[in-house]
A and B are shown apart, each in its own frame.
Chain A
Amino acid sequence: MLVYIARRFLQAIPVVIGVTFLIFLLMFILPGDPARMLVQKGASPEVLQRVREAYGLDKPWYVQYGKYMWKLLHGDFGTSIRYRRPVIDMMKDHYPNSVRLALVALMIEAVLGVAAGIISAVKRYSFLDVLVTLSTTILVAMPIFWFAMLLQVFFGLKLGVLPISGMGNGSWRYYVLPAIALASVHTAFVARLTRSSMLEVIRQDYIRTARAKGLSEWRVILKHALKNALIPVVTILGLDFGGLIGSAILTETVFSWPGVGRVIYLAILQRDPPVVVGGVLILVLVFIFLNLVVDISYTYLDPRIRYGARK
């Protein structure tokens, strides 16, 4: 197993180089001059040239990329062109907020999604199954920003029971609405996936055998069926965590949540390559790590899966 983990970490190196190269290249292909974005007024060609020189933007992209990678090797993620702040400081400010929000959303997704999926599969064609199907369809169809605004108006403004936006003092109350909004679509997917996966497993011979042995229905479902049905669900949940961090732009915007998704998004609009590359790079590392965790978790869920063992 240790060899396997070490090999996976080594495999991450070309991924990191590839990702940084690709994003750097994309940032340069994008039309729009970073210097022009920086200077709002009085942007004469001379002024723009001075700004480009000051930030090294006058150099060819591959020189800039080389310099960036050299700094990165020394642990320096560079400095934001727009905010003049070290990228690592910006990430330290925003990543923990995104991770916390994503964890809460993931919990909602895992608990509600899996529970709804099990109930839906076990009580197939019942009122509960139809209700879950309808609810998940509505959740998937609803634009997140609209759902988020509904939550704000209803729970924040009309009832006044939960904060409308921001992180405030970091109390759990501030997490509720953005986490629900963020988890909404993913919860629906998890519920649908769990349902179909459970339905497939329930038809298997070993489930019939378990029932024949006289085990209670819930024991059959939770101990024998769910464990096997969870493999695709765990894969989705693992990958979702990275997605919840990186794709939370709408939720972060509506709830003014100080997360990293919005920082990266604004950096793209403002043509701020160090922030985009640094932000995405950390996200990629998170993805690589989570993939590894997911793969390792398979060995627990399915003892037939073994990594690094001789065939």
Chain B
Amino acid sequence: MFRGLKISLVFLLVLALAVSFISGCPKREEVEKPKPKPAEEPVQGGTFNAFLIEPVTLDAAHSQESAGIQVAKQIYDGLVDHDPETMELVPAMAESWEPNGDATVFTFKLKKGIKFHNGRECKAQDFVYSWSRVAAKETASEVAYHLSPIKGFKACQEGAATKLEGVKAKDDYTLEVTLNYSYAEFPVTLGHVVFSPVPKEVVEEKGEKFAEEPVGTGPLKFTEWVHDQRIILERFDGYYGHKAYLDKVVFRIFADEQTGFLEFEAGNLHDAQIPLGQIKAAQEKYKERCLINPMLGIYYYGLNMETAPWKDNPNLRQALNYAIDRKSITETVWEGARVPATGIVPKGIPGFQEDVMPYTYNSSKAKSLLDQAGYPGGAGLPKLVLGYNVGVGHDKVAQAIQAQTKEAGIIFDIIGYEWGTYLDKIQAKEVTFFRLGWVADYPTMDNFLYPLFHSENAGADNMCYYNNPEVDGKLMGARKETDEDKRVKLYQEIERIVLNDAPIVPIAFYRTSRVIGPEVRGYIRTATDDTPMELIWLAK
């Protein structure tokens, strides 16, 4: 028996050596440097293989998760768009638009000859139908709230009306939108995919199937969706704008980023998401083919403003803000894939303030504020528990912060919850110290400050239950302000007030973490973490 055991051990040793030898061999795909770009002319044709997680829906009326939006943005188009590099507002299906004096009525002139993928021309009436469909009660759209500023939205949501009162087709190419209140930045919000027109006849014919076989006016048209396997889009030759170079885009669907990244490394994908923990290695290997760009999102810790010990204790909230070394967390835990938050509104949003954050890492200042808060050296501080949602690395951030704040005397336990339970507990004020993130739907300061800090949104997006009448008033004032400079100044002031009140602890701003193949050209990962596929071409 022992002889047999010995032979087996030798066999296993040899096997292990063979495995380690093979794993040490150079990989199949040698890293190619991108070819020089300036002299290159875009090449027409080819198939782009893209990474994707299974989307929930491709119906514009329900598009809310990033995978679905990534695909929907290729299929649909709206009145306006955002420049993929600068995020500035640019016309899309609208030729021009004009607000009235107090920004309550907007008149959009549509470009003529824009076609749906089924060949029919898209006219102003299609916007009336599509927006009313989103607002209608029976649609039960998860993203209908984007249309809430439009007159008649509430009646539609309650089922009292089926048509949005505030949206009118003055003629085939003129759309008039009346709002409930002055909202100068309203056109910026129209870049969201939920405002895209859909053809009534196709929606009615397909019913719920429209979510799986969508038709829009975008640069790529839908061809096939094999669930959990692939989505195929093809170039729409009748597109009114910049026609796609590619013949076809195949979104290969993966269960996780890790497998997608392996497929990229094997040369089977043209782009991939870099998994957390492999960012530094990927940057070293793929150099400028790694796209680690600013993203319009913030990762923060929220404090419930209606419960002890956070309630009525700004010194404690500020102490916590001073006790955290954001730079070391972004560098060690996130490998630079996120950058330290320097405020609430991230870089890339018009009005971004570079040095608005009053809190830099200062342990002694944190200790002194803790004394002023009535907890000298942390004595008497009730037992704090930080909640986070499990499964996506938030535990590592929580542990790092736990170690840092301990130094200042702020000691807390950490508990991970499954996502569904977690949101309920925060909403019910059972978890009063929590991790959350916010990614912008459109590049405005309002899209951060209004949902997160207006008291009207308490318990919804304002999970801190922050309620400051001064901030509420200024937010509504900023929405009404038609002068852009004055409006930005108002929002900047609001950001400063909120930061001073410290209902949240801003931790980091998100960044994209994509990698692209050596032959890929014209690839832009936008600050809203999507890619306009019509700009991509493949070098030969």
Contact = CB atoms under 8 A, between A and B. Distances in A.
A9 to B, nearest CB: 32
Contact of B421 (A31, A34, A79, A129): A31
B464 to A, nearest CB: 15
Contacts, number: 162
Given A85-B212, A253-B255, A254-B259, A158 B8 contact: no
Interface string A247-290: 00000111111100011000001110000000000000000000
Nearest to A252: B255
A260 B255 CA distance: 13
B347 to A, nearest CB: 22
Contacts of A5: none
B1 A153 contact: no
B420 A127 contact: no
B4 A41 contact: no
Contact of B266 (A82, A156, A254): A156
A76 B142 CA distance: 25
Contact of A94 (B5, B65, B138, B227): B227
Contacts of A270: 420
Contacts of A44: 457, 459-460
Contact of B140 (A42, A55, A154): A55
Contact of A158 (B25, B268, B423): B25
Interface in A21-49: 30-34, 36-45, 47
B470 interface: no
B23 A154 contact: yes
Contacts of A51: 140, 142
B262 A94 contact: no
B140 to A, nearest CB: 4
B458 to A, nearest CB: 9
A153 B27 CA distance: 10
A50 B28 contact: no
Contacts of B252: 166
A134 interface: yes
Interface residues of A, number: 61
Given A84-B57, A127-B3, A41 B64 contact: yes
A167 interface: yes
A125 B1 CA distance: 5
A157 B264 CA distance: 10
A83 interface: yes
B140 A50 contact: yes
Interface in B412-429: 418-421, 423-425, 427
Given A36-B420, A84-B211, A165 B259 contact: yes
A142 interface: no
A41 B424 contact: no
A90 interface: yes
Contacts of A217: none
A269 B419 CA distance: 8
A54 B56 contact: no
A255 B212 CA distance: 24
Contacts of A45: 459-460
A257 B254 CA distance: 8
Interface in B121-179: 137-138, 140, 142-145, 157
B8 A164 contact: no
B308 interface: no
A85 B256 CA distance: 22
A255 B419 contact: no
Interface in B9-55: 11-12, 19, 22-23, 25, 27-28
Contacts of B263: 164-165
A79 B425 CA distance: 27
Contact of A258 (B1, B145, B229): B229
Contact of B451 (A31, A33, A41, A154): A41
B436 to A, nearest CB: 11
Contacts of A254: 255-256, 258-259
A63 interface: no
Nearest to A254: B259
B5 A158 contact: no
Contact of A47 (B145, B208, B258): B145
Residue among A34, A44, A90 with the highest chain B CB neighbour number at 10 A: A44
B145 A42 contact: yes
A44 B265 CA distance: 43
B514 interface: no
Contacts of A256: 228, 253-256, 259-260
B424 A165 contact: no
B228 A94 contact: yes
Interface of B: 1, 3-5, 7-8, 11-12, 19, 22-23, 25, 27-28, 56-57, 62, 64-65, 137-138, 140, 142-145, 157, 208, 211-212, 226-229, 252-256, 258-260, 262-263, 265-266, 268, 418-421, 423-425, 427, 441, 451, 457, 459-461
Given A130-B4, A257-B255, 7 more contacts: A40-B142, A41-B451, A54-B140, A55-B140, A134-B12, A152-B259, A165-B262
Top-8 shortest CB links A-B: A32-B420, A258-B228, A54-B140, A42-B145, A127-B4, A130-B4, A44-B460, A31-B421
